[in-house]
Amino acid sequence: MRTKFEEQLAMLNNMLIEMGAMIETAIAMATEALLKQDTELAQKAIQYDLDIDQMEKDIEALCLKLLMQQQPVARDLRLISAALKMITDMERIGDHAADISEITMILANAPYIKKLEHIPQMAKATVKMLTDSIDAFVKKDLKLAKAVMEYDDVVDGLFTTVRQELLNLIDDNSSNGEQAFDLLMIAKYFERIGDHAENIAEWVEFSIVGRHVKDTN
């Protein structure tokens, strides 16, 4: 019985890795579509969110199966509970990638008011956070999980930079306002992706030590 349970736990790890890879692809598509003002790619990123939603449902079903059909010990319960929380945040990241692509389609008909420099850096930073948090879960690496939590400061700092740049552009020319607002929303979605990746890392910590960081604040 325990051997089968261990096999299913291994399957859970593999599915989480796969879902993480799917989200990384979604972020990459959304970012490329934004930079190239590619509406076809943006639409593809929006549709891809449906696949991510289905993966969340599949992982949730496996977790519930593990809880109902097996007899997990406390450590296993923490791991499964953490996985259920993680996929909620992962699904939201997929939603935000689609949100970014929806705004990209609106922005595609006019040149950008400035070169996009820091937003792609935000995208790269959030992908790092996401992949590292899932890696920390699979490897049960508490140090890596904590590093992800700290790295969210990088994303927050980039968001502050983008916001100030866009506000300056509006001050210089009020006609920049509409596009600046849309670009600010995109930056905000990337900041939220970082927040969700930080949440995932916090649930990784819970799965390892049985304590959720927010419960101690």
Domain holding 88: CATH number? 1.20.58.220
Please give the helix or strand (H or E) that residue 36 lies within, else none.
Answer: helix 2-36
Which DSSP letter does residue 140 get? T
Rounded CA Rg of the chain: 19
Question: What's the rounded Cα separation, in Å, for the pair 159 and 128?
Answer: 16
Which distant-in-sequence residues (6+ apart) come within 8 Å of 2 by Cβ?
Answer: none
Q: What is the pLDDT along the chain (217 residues), one digit of tens a residue?
A: 567 888 988 999 999 999 999 999 999 999 999 999 999 999 999 999 999 999 999 999 999 998 887 677 788 889 999 999 999 999 999 999 999 999 999 999 899 999 999 999 999 999 999 999 999 999 999 999 999 999 999 999 999 999 999 999 999 999 999 999 999 999 999 999 999 999 999 999 999 998 766 654 4
pTM summary value: 0.93
Provide the pLDDT for residue 71: 72
In the chain, how many domains are there?
A: 1
Q: Which two structure tokens, joined as six digits, stand for 140?
A: 């049960």
Provide the pLDDT for residue 2: 66
Rounded to 5°, angle at Cα 128 from 179 and 91: 70
Supply the range of the domain harboring residue 83.
2-216
Residue 166 identity (one-letter amino acid): L
Residue 64 identity (one-letter amino acid): L
Provide the pLDDT for residue 217: 45
Question: What's the rounded Cα separation, in Å, for the pair 49 and 45?
Answer: 7
| Neighbour tally for 204: CB within 10 Å | 31
